[in-house]
Structure 1
Amino acid sequence: MFARLIRPLGLCLILALPALVFRLSGIESDPLILLAVFGTGVVSASFVLAWAAEAAQVDISGGLAIAILAVIAVLPEYAVDLYFAFTAGSRPEYVAYAAANMTGSNRLLLGLGWSLVVLIALAVAKRRTGKSIRALTLDSGHRVELGFLAIASVIAFAIPVSAQIHVALGVGLLAFFGFYLWKVSRGDTEEPDLVGPAATIGALPRRQRRVLVVSLFIGSALVILACAEPFADALIETGAQLGIDEFLLVQWLAPLASEAPEFIIAILFALRGNGAAAIGMLISAKVNQWTLLVGSLPVAYLLGGGGVALHLDGRQVEEFLLTATQTLLGIAALLALRFPRWAAWTLLGLFAVQFVFPGQEARYVLSGVYAALALGAFVYHRRHLLPTLAAPFQDHPDEQAAKAAEQESRTAP
């Protein structure tokens, strides 16, 4: 069994080794080389971390454990963004990079991740059944997570309105995340559906599995923490050297590298016909981003010597507004716990549009399009709105939602 793990784990170790050598020896080199070396280290360690987090579900049961493992899986993204926020306490120009990394990772997760998973899952279902399926149906238990995401997203509009992320807002979001962990810990638990190296690790004898999982957690986390600072600095220096907007590099390249394992795992679930589990995992990651990540930024900024609030300039306000309105559309499309094909193509198309029209006016127009479409979807699914917002605070939220779904199915044309 161990022989099947040698190739993937050995490959990740080989890819991460240059980053450790550069970091421990303090080798100085061209920013582009450093970006490649430390970026490769982050990606390879991220894969190992994701495999360990998936396999750990065999030994750790309960929704709380699964939520904690989801947090561990996104450690690479958090490590980079919190470094930017902490450094901004003494170097104010880094506030822009913290905002860029956060907004980029959020929009990438929803605009690209959610959309691709749904489209792949629907294509797989069509190939298996021979019938065209118009929407991916989610389990009723995801309404609780959707409710948490909806509430956190509405609260997040305080950021572009006030042009700052105050530490009071951060503490409130962290408390809300704590409430989310408590809530999901009371949910039902299902047997994990593991794929690839995670499945191989999960099939090991208990003692060997636990020792290996803990070792992989510690090793990959150390590599990620060692690479986070030089990777982030190399991003900025590379942008300056090549004449590329550093904001854009931090916004898209860093999240793409750190979230690659999560995307790949979700796509593998979708290819195996388990699209509901894949999109559910990405919804949970989105909740983590809007609560734990956003809430941690002003705290890290304060600990780094900054004030009680990260103050945002006009560009950063636009980015947060665009991110918040995109999230609203994603929530609105999912209110009935059905992810329609049109919503997936719409989110993917609008995500692509921002690269074609990157200017200030285009960001405001795109925010308006997201908001208008979200409003229309909220009106259409209005019977599900209150049950979704109430779900985080109810012991059995699914009964009321089921009645609303039945009523909507009777009145739908």
Structure 2
Amino acid sequence: MPRTLVRRIILCAALAAPALVLRFTGIDVAPVVNMLLFGAAIVAAAFLLAWAAEAAQKDISGALAIALLALIAVLPEYAVDLYYAFRSGSDPEFLHYAAANMTGSNRLLLGFGWPLVALVALLFARRAARRVSRRGRIRSPRSLVLPTASRLDIGFLAILAVVAFAIPLMGSIPLWFGIALILMFALYLWRAGRTGGDEEAEFVGAAAQIAAMPARIRRITVLGLFLGSATIILLSAEPFAEALVASGTVLGIDSYFLVQWLAPLASEAPEFIIAVMFAVRGMGAAAIGTLIASKVNQWSLLVGSLPLAHLAGGGPASLLLDARQIEEFTLTATQTLLGVAMIVALRFHWGSALGLASLFALQFAITDTTGRYVLSAIQAVLAIGYLVAHRRTILPALRAPFRRPAAPQPVELDPPAPRLPPPSPGRGPGCLE
């Protein structure tokens, strides 16, 4: 095992160690300290999980690998979110937080993650093109072009975006609705497994070092990282979730705000970092493809699991939403519809990326209910505008989940730009320059 990889694993273990000591010894500390220590443990475990999941693509090819990677990468978020849903079954106080983590991570992924990956990919492609151009007179790339195979994910996300509006209309997430969403996720995995993917996956950072190992050692390492990170996450999820709520009271900060944004930021950080590393290396479409797949499993498996966890915790067969959660689901659903409308033509323009990020930032300045519903309406109107402009590509996207996807096409930027030069001699695979 490379020394660099060993040091990274030891660092993650060291970050998680204090939380595990608290968990096993039962030492009572301040809620804020608990939040920081258990939050650090979840972040460390999320990095281990992300490295293992990415390296696992060496043994699993095609769109199924992307779908599984997206699922595994958000397991820390699942652990925290499902804990709140489980507790809400016996403690009505936690009903307020049951869907907060989901709506926050969902909007963070689309409003921050998608634009970040697209803009970074376009920026580095422009710089790379200038370095190889003798005169420096080139047309700067303006759009990130997705392969035709991405229609599978976009089609599923489009269907889920429309179905999502049923949640605020019903004011609850019934058990039957949750089961339907889980079945939708199962269909998504099945369709992804039937998608071709003969091209070999590219890896960066720690995942590249794991993927370069001999097959047997690689699989043992991946399995060990999976088991270790999953253990840390399961041991840390409950105290971290409890500490978030208690810390809000101690610090005088809205506990709902901490649950909605701090927990997703911790769980999504590794996925964002890996996606940016892909974008820096000229693989922006592959990076955003993973983020799109994450959106699919958030709207299907995660949302569908909430009423099941609520029922398992002793609650009724329907997860009731209060007025604030209905407002949050409406804002999240319209943002998802807008994101789908922007990329349904398999092109993500830099102007659209900036607009998406601006709307995401705007929601933090608009805190009243009326203002947030107005923002939801603005996102819906913009989505309709994009759908009208991209009307010829809507049906191919909606048909993609129900027909055999086309053969994968090479990813390129619009206009085509040269790939970044390889790492300098002596640098490890996946290192940034």
**Which has the larger displacement, 182-191 or 171-180?**
182-191
Question: For the Cα contact (< 8 Å) 1:387–1:397, is it kept in 2?
Answer: no
Q: 1:187 aligns with which of 191, 195, 206?
A: 195
* Per-residue deviation, 1:319: 0.3
Q: CA deviation at 1:62?
A: 4.3
What are the within-5 Å matches in structure 2 for residues 3-402 of structure 1?
A: 3-130=3-130, 131-189=139-197, 190-396=199-405
Question: Aligned to 1:79, what secondary structure does the other structure show?
Answer: helix
Q: TM-score, normalised by structure 2?
A: 0.90
- Quote the sequence identity (%): 58
CA offset at residue 60 of structure 1? 2.7
Match of 1:408 in 2: none
Give me the whole-angstrom Cα distance separating, in 2, the residues matched to 1:69 and 1:126. 29
The 1:199/1:357 distance shift into structure 2, 3 A limit, reads: same
Q: Distance in 2 between matches of 1:182 and 1:310?
A: 28
Q: 1:86 to 1:241 in 2, by over 3 A?
A: same
> Distance in 1 between the 2:211 and 2:113 partners?
26
CA distances 1:105-145 after superposition (whole Å, capped 9, x unpaired):
00000000001111111111111123321211001100011
Whole-angstrom distance in 1 between the partners of 2:65 and 2:343:
25
Tell me, in whole angstroms, the C-alpha distance in 2 between the residues paired with 1:43 and 1:57: 22
Please say if residues 176 and 291 of structure 1, whose CA atoms lie closer than 8 Å, have aligned partners that are also in contact: yes
- Secondary structure of 2:239's partner? helix
* TM-score under structure 1 length normalisation: 0.95
Specify whether residues 268 and 65 from structure 1 end up closer, same or farther in structure 2 by C-alpha distance, changes over 3 A only: closer
Amino acid at match of 1:183: R
Counterparts in 2 of 1:166 and 1:281: CA distance versus 1, 3 Å: same
Amino acid in structure 2 at the alignment position of 1:181: L
Q: Which whole-Å deviations, capped at 9, do the CAs of 1:228-262 have from their partners, x for residues lacking one?
A: 00000000000011111010000000000001000
| Letter of the structure 2 residue corresponding to residue 49 of structure 1 | L
Does the aligned pair in 1 maintain the 2:66–2:290 contact within 8 Å?
no
Given that residues 143 and 398 in structure 1 are in contact (C-alpha distance below 8 angstroms), is that contact kept between their aligned partners in structure 2?
no
Deviation at 1:61, TM superposition (A): 3.1
Following the alignment from structure 2 to structure 1, what is the Cα–Cα distance between the partners of residues 390 and 359? 21
Separation (CA, whole Å) in 2 of partners of 1:349 and 1:69: 28
* Alpha-carbon distance between aligned partners in 2 of 1:191 and 1:347, rounded to the nearest angstrom: 32
Post-superposition Cα deviations, 1:307-351, rounded to whole Å, max 9, x if no partner, equal 111111111101000000000000000011000111101110000
Of the structure 1 ranges 203-212 and 168-177, higher mean CA displacement relative to structure 2 is found in 203-212
Question: In the comparison of the two structures, how many residue pairs are matched?
Answer: 399
- The structure that is helix-richer by fraction is 1
Q: Please report how far the alpha carbon of residue 68 of structure 1 lies from its aligned counterpart in structure 2 after TM superposition.
A: 2.5
Q: Distance in 2 between matches of 1:271 and 1:260?
A: 16
5+ residue gaps, structure 2, are 131-138, 409-433
Q: Please name the residue that 1:406 is paired with.
A: none
Cα-to-partner distance string for 1:23-68 (whole Å, 9 max, x where unaligned)? 1111110000000100000000100010011111112334334422
1:247-284, Cα deviation, whole Å (9 max, x unpaired):
00000000000010000000000111110001101000
Q: Is the 8 A contact 2:107 2:360 kept in 1?
A: yes
